[in-house]
Amino acid sequence: MSHVRNLLGEINALIGHGLSYTSASKAWDVYEGYLFSLVVSTAGSLGATVYYEDVDGTNVKDLVFRTSPGQIFSRVQPYTHAIVQFGHAPALEVHLGVQVQGGSRVLHECDVLVLPAEEAALSRRMSMAPRGGKCLLAIECKYYVSSQLGIGAARNFEGAITDLKPQMNLFVSNTGAPNVVKYLSARKRGYEREVVPSNVDTVGYTRAKIREAFKEFLSKHAPSIVI
């Protein structure tokens, strides 16, 4: 329970909105929300305008987050995504727990996903999953309380990213495992371990990788914007 409370406190500090999570929520679900909040708050700290919408494009203050994989166009609940706008650059969206289409046309879940708003709008209009190759950043989130991070999680991530081919990828966990580090490093995948609110260094490293994704996007679409 204390794990969840700590994560909820940090999410509230970072984005300051009403949340659908409670103290009874699963720690791994709230951890995904924590990484979502890191992406959003990093964008804001770099000068982006950030606000929140539901699937119908209505501005919202109370945020409703998925706790199981779903389609970006789903209207089962008014799920929330963030809009991120850097000056005159094309808008971006940040989503939690959405399915994305790989080159094989197989669907993969992305715990936290950053993609162009144009691609997200097309997906909602056509009722189809966004295309992995169009996505800016895909983050896999792993949170363990009583068990250990296993190599299987890294292998699953590698398989999904190989099929999706987003512009950048990142595997984030609250624990560390040497074999996972070796596996992902050999495949040149982004990886940050022991990322929890109390670990200022690893949170800073994660923010730096998120900044790189935004920086890469702006270099192509609005090179005059400096972040």
Strands 62-63 and 18-19 turn out to be parallel
Give bridge partners of residue 115 from the DSSP assignment.
93
Question: Residue 196 in 3-state DSSP?
Answer: coil
- Closest CA relative to residue 100, chosen from 12, 161, 9: 161
The pTM assigned to this predicted structure is: 0.96
What CA–CA distance (Å, rounded) separates 227 from 214? 8
**pLDDT tens for each residue of the chain, 227 residues long:** 578 999 999 999 999 888 899 999 999 999 999 999 999 999 999 999 999 999 999 999 999 999 999 999 999 999 999 999 999 999 999 999 999 999 999 999 999 999 999 999 999 999 999 999 999 999 999 999 878 899 999 999 999 999 999 999 999 999 989 999 999 999 999 999 999 999 999 999 999 999 999 999 999 999 999 99
Phi then psi for 115, rounded to 5 degrees?
-145, 160
